[in-house]
Amino acid sequence: MLILGGTGLIGRAVTSQALAGGAEVTLFGRGRTGAELFPDVARLTGDRESGDYGALRGGRWDVVVDVSGFVPRHVGEAMEALGDRVGRYVFVSSHAVYAREGASPGADEDAPRKPPVRSVRHKADLDDSTYGPSKVACEDDVVARYGTRATIVRPGKVAGPGDWSDTFTYWVRRAARGGRVAVPGDPAQPVQVVDSRDLGRLVVRLAADERHGAFQAVGPAEPVTLGGLIRTCARAAGTEVEIVRVRPPRVPAMFPLIRADRISQQRSADRARAAGLTATPLEVTAADVLAWDRERGEPPLSKGWTEAEERAVLAAYAESAG
């Protein structure tokens, strides 16, 4: 298995699962992320931003897992470099491909996607409006090139140890402090997060079973609300929380897991489950993220509120307790 990426949150889960299943793995990347991981695994160096795929010139792989493709140029150049020296191309896409309009709870993989965007050439140039549409174009190009040898995996929000996005980690750490927890959104909104280890297992399984088509990877097993997720994180930490809705005039952009769009958090996992998606209990994910966060020394987070900010918001804008 060749993994384009393989050392970030999702990639390392795929790599671990592939190795556990006895696969011979090669990683391709710049050598910047997780350089200390997997010391016995073969590594090839290259940079997708500059189109440097020279290291892929030789070799054959049964499957390539593309975790680091964001714009169609990335996938186009990788496919050109690899040609028919790979059996299956598994592309890690995103739930961001789906159109907002016409969506309904329980939507499956056939839900309408956004129109593709091909104009963005660099990951750094993507924004909220072009990230999903660029992934749509990547998906289309992989399927056009490899047909039934193409597999598309669309994760929802991913959580697990090694997550540098600070999204799920914010609530895990916040719940572990206990007490009154400020929520700048509806605590009853549905939330979907998938454990990175479940996602890694699914990718390896889809490749082994040679499944083609698209699979949305969402979790946990049972539907959960944002308030329920925070309480589960508290249970994992052995603390008590009181969820307090707040409506301050300004909320930091991309506040962790706050979604105005409820439908996007109620997608069906049926097809992925039937293909082998496992469902780690949310409490286990929370406990493992908490342990990882403590082990790394709980550095400042890039999202959410600091303790002092939250205290000020609670003092001024607490609306109701529940």
Ligand X SMILES: NC(=O)c1ccc[n+]([C@@H]2O[C@H](COP(=O)([O-])OP(=O)(O)OC[C@H]3O[C@@H](n4cnc5c(N)ncnc54)[C@H](OP(=O)(O)O)[C@@H]3O)[C@@H](O)[C@H]2O)c1
Which residue in the set 1, 11, 218, 219 belongs to the binding site for ligand X (CB under 6 A)? 11
Q: With binding defined as CB under 6 A, does residue 187 bind ligand X? A: no
We find the least distance from the C-beta atom of residue 5 to ligand X, in angstroms, to be 3
Q: With binding defined as CB under 6 A, does residue 8 bind ligand X? A: yes
In this structure, how many other beta carbons lie within 10 angstroms of the beta carbon of residue 287?
Answer: 18
Task: Give the residue with the Cβ less far from ligand X, 158 or 191.
Answer: 158
We find the least distance from the C-beta atom of residue 192 to ligand X, in angstroms, to be 11
We find the least distance from the C-beta atom of residue 248 to ligand X, in angstroms, to be 26
We find the least distance from the C-beta atom of residue 145 to ligand X, in angstroms, to be 18
Q: With binding defined as CB under 6 A, does residue 67 bind ligand X? A: yes
User: 83: which 2 tokens?
Assistant: 């040609």
Task: Give the residue with the Cβ less far from ligand X, 142 or 246.
Answer: 142
Tell me how far apart the alpha carbons of residues 295 and 298 are, in angstroms, rounded to a whole number: 8
Which residue in the set 1, 2, 7, 141 belongs to the binding site for ligand X (CB under 6 A)? 7
Task: Give the residue with the Cβ less far from ligand X, 75 or 290.
Answer: 75
Q: With binding defined as CB under 6 A, does residue 165 bind ligand X? A: yes
Which residue in the set 1, 16, 17, 48 belongs to the binding site for ligand X (CB under 6 A)? 48
Q: With binding defined as CB under 6 A, does residue 6 bind ligand X? A: yes
Listed ranges 25-33, 75-83, 97-105, 263-271: which one lies at the site for ligand X (CB under 6 A): 25-33
Which residue in the set 90, 158, 191, 272 belongs to the binding site for ligand X (CB under 6 A)? 158
Residue where the block lists tokens 């060749």: 2
Q: With binding defined as CB under 6 A, does residue 250 bind ligand X? A: no
- Give the angle 183-184-189 at the CA atoms, nearest 5°: 75
Closest CA to 202 of 255, 126, 128, 280: 280
Listed ranges 27-35, 114-122, 141-149, 256-264: which one lies at the site for ligand X (CB under 6 A): 27-35
- Element (H or E) spanning 316, and its range? helix 307-317
Listed ranges 6-14, 108-116, 171-179, 262-270: which one lies at the site for ligand X (CB under 6 A): 6-14
**Is 44 in contact with 28 (CB distance < 8 Å)?**
yes
- 3-state SS, residue 96: helix
# residues contacting ligand X (CB under 6 A) = 24
Task: Give the residue with the Cβ less far from ligand X, 146 or 168.
Answer: 168
Closest CA to 67 of 168, 192, 158: 158
Which residue in the set 157, 197, 205, 267 belongs to the binding site for ligand X (CB under 6 A)? 157
Quick one: how far is CA 27 from the chain centroid? 19
Residue where the block lists tokens 């949150």: 9
Task: Give the residue with the Cβ less far from ligand X, 158 or 181.
Answer: 158
Tell me how far apart the alpha carbons of residues 43 and 26 are, in angstroms, rounded to a whole number: 6
Please, is 38 exposed, middle or buried when counting C-beta atoms within 10 Å of its C-beta (0-12, 13-18, 19+)?
A: middle
- Which 127-156 residues touch ligand X, going by CB under 6 A? 155
Tell me how far apart the alpha carbons of residues 89 and 110 are, in angstroms, rounded to a whole number: 20
Judge if the upstream peptide bond of residue 220 is cis by omega within 30 degrees of 0: yes
Please, is 272 exposed, middle or buried when counting C-beta atoms within 10 Å of its C-beta (0-12, 13-18, 19+)?
A: buried
Eight-class DSSP state of 83: G
Question: Contact residues for ligand X (CB under 6 A)?
Answer: 5-11, 29-33, 46-49, 67-68, 92, 94, 155, 157-158, 165
